[in-house]
Amino acid sequence: MAVAALAAEGAYALPLDKIDVSNPDLYQNDTIEAYFKRLRAEDPVHYCAESAYGPYWSITKYDDIMHVDTNHQIFSSEASLGGITIDNALSIAEEGGIDLPNFIAMDPPRHDEQRKAVSPIVAPANLAKLEGTIRERVCRVLDGLPVGEAFNWVDRVSIELTTQMLATLMDFPFDERRKLTRWSDVATAAPGSGIVDSWEQRTQELMECAGYFQNLWNERVNAKEPGSDLISMLAHSPATRNMTQTEYLANVLLLIVGGNDTTRNSMTGGVLAFHENPDQLAKLRANPALLDSTIPEIIRWQTPLPHMRRTALSDTELGGKNIRKGDKVVMWYLSGNRDETTIERPDDFIIDRPRPRQHLSFGFGIHRCVGNRLAELQLRILWEEILKRFKRIEVLAEPERVRSNFVRGYTTLPVRIHA
Amino acid sequence: MTKVSFVEVTGTTYAVEADSGISAMEAAVRNNVPGIDGDCGGAAACATCHVYVDPAWLAKTGAAGEGMEKDMLEFAEDVRENSRLACQIKLTSELDGLVLRLPEKQH
């Protein structure tokens, strides 16, 4: 509570126009919500004139975020305008970054064509096929955990399971799968995140990734019977088979980050949420059918991606403010998911909410997370198997959090399992 | 009140009575019709309320609207000419007796 009180003091000590919610320190020390709370109450569509990423608008309320997300004709995702992150350098060759034109950072019609090339991997029929594999691996990982001893949940469970899943979807050499984890971290990291020391290092590692995936492409593009993995899909689909190498790398990184950073942190966040709310764990144990509403609540509570960014293509008005053509507009999903006017008791973790799927973590509109059902399936199986095996997962110390305004995640969560 | 039937692939039918003025998605959610999630609350922004309008009713409901509805249906499973997002079908007395068929799975 002391931390929350200090955070609130900090958030209210500043003049409103100095509030800059892009500061990655606020995510690392988990004090960001106090700032969002103030913005939602006093200035829900907020202009920040000076930040490390230049001037930008913050959209902090649920309904306003929905408005931006569903008006893609006005609010563009195009990589050449800066893409979908507040930091242009993560999407384009600016200030040390490299160009990464992938389909999440495209507008229709190219977005639609490229997205449709890979979406069958997470279609209902394919998810049904994957379920057995996911369960087998979850069981193996959980059964290998040292009951009664301290260990890092992030590394042993969250990273391991999401990386295995991604390796399977890509038919990536299984023994080398931790390369995927590393590239996922590097793709969303700016210097100062603790992941890379410089832009040059980031570029160099991403080029290694490009080379590695070029080999996989070459292997698969000539296969007589195209495989059903993501790389084969990209290599054979009419919409993507003539991509430039840059576009290919960009889409590979999108799939890696989308399938990795996100679910990984919800897997960790769920453990933390239940540790802090033992009454909710008791409720779930008494009625395991509540998993249906528990999983979306974990995803809301965690909000693994705090924001998505757009660029205004024309002058427009929102919340009484005039947004100009070319302005950077940031939808803070993390804030919308704590919006007290839309979600009752938003700060609380409540596993039996009447409308649990009403959350922004997957975004809405044409860029809505393509893998959302796979993410839910993985989390669901994980919790089904945890409930069968363990009485409780005790968190032994505060987690270490990632220093980033784009990935709300953990590097460590020390735990001890009580069987 | 407007009567609406939601018919599963298996033939199982959920007949519900809805207040006029609400959407077919809201009618389904309020009456716990399985397979209609309506995650976005009716903004045509998630495509989790995809239905097929029975051909006999298509003239009255109309086809999918230009803009968000069509844009989102681009990414739904097994989209056909009579595909609609149920959240964009407003139930009026004209639609009393409407028959909507559910896809095998929502994406």
Task: Give the CATH number for residue B77.
Answer: 3.10.20.30
The C-alpha of B23 sits at a distance from chain A's nearest C-alpha, in angstroms, of 17
CB nearest A124 (choices: B41, B44, B105) = B105
Q: How far apart are CA A310 and CA A99, in angstroms?
A: 17
Instruction: Print burial letters for A53-69: b (CB count within 10 Å at least 16), e (below 16).
Output: beebbbbbbbebbbbbb
Which amino acid appears at position A301 of this protein?
W
DSSP state of A401: E
pLDDT greater at residue A8 or residue A29 = A29
**Strand segments (E) across A350-406:** 392-395, 400-401
Please judge whether B107 and A124 are an interchain contact, meaning their C-beta atoms are less than 8 angstroms apart.
yes
Query: Could you tell me which chain B residue has the CA closest to the CA of A368?
Result: B46
CA dist list (Å): A206 to A95, A184, B51: 16, 10, 43
Structural domain including B31 reads 2-101
Could you please report the per-residue DSSP string of A171-236?
T--GGGTHHHHHHHHHHTPPTTSSS-SSHHHHHHHHHHHHHHHHHHHHHHHT-SS--SSHHHHHHH
**pLDDT given for residue A3 in this prediction:** 67
Chain A residues with CB under 8 Å of B107 CB are 123-124, 373
Q: Quick one: angle between helices A261-276 and A372-389, nearest 10?
A: 40
In a domain, B91, yes or no: yes
In a domain, B107, yes or no: no
Residue A95 Ramachandran class (φ > 0 left, ψ -120 to 50 alpha, else beta)? left
CB nearest B71 (choices: A116, A357, A366) = A366
Please compute the mean of the pLDDT values over residues A226-235 and round it to a whole number: 91
What is the strand order of the sheet A56-59 is part of?
Answer: A45-48, A56-59, A328-332, A307-312, A75-76
Residue A319 Ramachandran class (φ > 0 left, ψ -120 to 50 alpha, else beta)? left
Chain A residues with CB under 8 Å of B41 CB are 355, 358
In a domain, B106, yes or no: no
Please compute the mean of the pLDDT values over residues A334-349 and round it to a whole number: 97
How many structural domains compose chain A?
A: 1
DSSP state of A392: E
CATH number of the domain to which A200 belongs: 1.10.630.10
Half-sphere exposure of A398 (CA within 13 A, CB side): 7
Please compute the mean of the pLDDT values over residues A193-200 and round it to a whole number: 92
Q: How far apart are CA A369 and CA A341, in angstroms?
A: 24
Torsion of CA B74, B77, B79, B82, to 10 degrees: -120
Residue A348 has pLDDT above 70, yes or no: yes
In a domain, B56, yes or no: yes
List all residues 6 or more positions away from A409 whose beta carbon is below 8 Å from its beta carbon.
Answer: A261, A264, A265, A268, A304, A401, A402
CB nearest B72 (choices: A119, A125, A366) = A366
What band does A197 get if pLDDT is binned at 50, 70 and 90?
very high
Note whether A306 and A36 are within 8 A (CB). Answer: no
Establish if B68 touches chain A: CB-CB under 8 angstroms: yes
Average pLDDT score, chain A? 94
* pLDDT tens, residue by residue, A374-404: 999 999 999 999 999 999 999 999 999 999 9
Neighbour-count burial of A109, counting CB atoms closer than 10 A to its CB (0-12 exposed, 13-18 middle, 19+ buried): exposed
Note whether A378 and A295 are within 8 A (CB). Answer: no
Q: Angle at the Cα of A387 (from A386 to A391), degrees rounded to 5?
A: 95
The C-alpha of A341 sits at a distance from chain B's nearest C-alpha, in angstroms, of 15
Q: How far apart are CA A132 and CA A329, in angstroms?
A: 41
Query: Could you tell me which chain A residue has the CA closest to the CA of B76?
Result: A123
CB nearest B45 (choices: A69, A112, A116) = A69
CB nearest B107 (choices: A70, A108, A123) = A123
**pLDDT given for residue A124 in this prediction:** 86
Question: Nearest Cα to A357, choosing from A301, A298, A299, A296?
Answer: A296
3-state secondary structure of A147: coil
How many structural domains compose chain B?
A: 1
Could you please report the per-residue DSSP string of chain B?
-EEEEEE-TTS-EEEEEE-TTSBHHHHHHHTT-TT---TTSSSS-S--SEEEE-GGGHHHH-SPPTTHHHHHHTTSSS--TTEEEGGG-B--GGGTTEEEEPPS---
In a domain, B10, yes or no: yes
Query: Could you tell me which chain A residue has the CA closest to the CA of B78?
Result: A123
Question: Nearest Cα to A18, choosing from A402, A306, A42?
Answer: A42
What band does A342 get if pLDDT is binned at 50, 70 and 90?
very high
Chain A residues with CB under 8 Å of B104 CB are 124
Please judge whether A366 and B41 are an interchain contact, meaning their C-beta atoms are less than 8 angstroms apart.
no
The C-alpha of B16 sits at a distance from chain A's nearest C-alpha, in angstroms, of 20
Q: How far apart are CA A102 and CA A92, in angstroms?
A: 11
Note whether A246 and A214 are within 8 A (CB). Answer: no
The C-alpha of A358 sits at a distance from chain B's nearest C-alpha, in angstroms, of 6
For chain A, state the CA radius of gyration.
21
Question: Nearest Cα to A35, choosing from A93, A157, A25?
Answer: A25
Which amino acid appears at position B78 of this protein?
D
Residue A51 has pLDDT above 80, yes or no: yes
CA dist list (Å): B28 to A114, A168, B42: 33, 37, 12
Chain A residues with CB under 8 Å of B74 CB are 112, 116, 366
CA dist list (Å): A381 to A270, A385, A404, B51: 13, 6, 28, 28
CB nearest A373 (choices: B45, B71, B107) = B107
What band does A2 get if pLDDT is binned at 50, 70 and 90?
low
Structural domain including A167 reads 2-418
pLDDT greater at residue A258 or residue A277 = A277
Query: Could you tell me which chain A residue has the CA closest to the CA of B44?
Result: A365
Question: Nearest Cα to A316, choosing from A71, A72, A24, A74?
Answer: A74
Chain A residues with CB under 8 Å of B71 CB are 72, 108, 365-366
* pLDDT tens, residue by residue, A281-310: 999 999 999 999 999 999 999 999 999 999
Establish if B41 touches chain A: CB-CB under 8 angstroms: yes
**pLDDT given for residue B107 in this prediction:** 67
In a domain, B46, yes or no: yes
Q: What stretch of H or E contains A417? A: strand A414-418
- Which regions in chain B score pLDDT beneath 70? 107
Note whether B36 and B28 are within 8 A (CB). Answer: yes
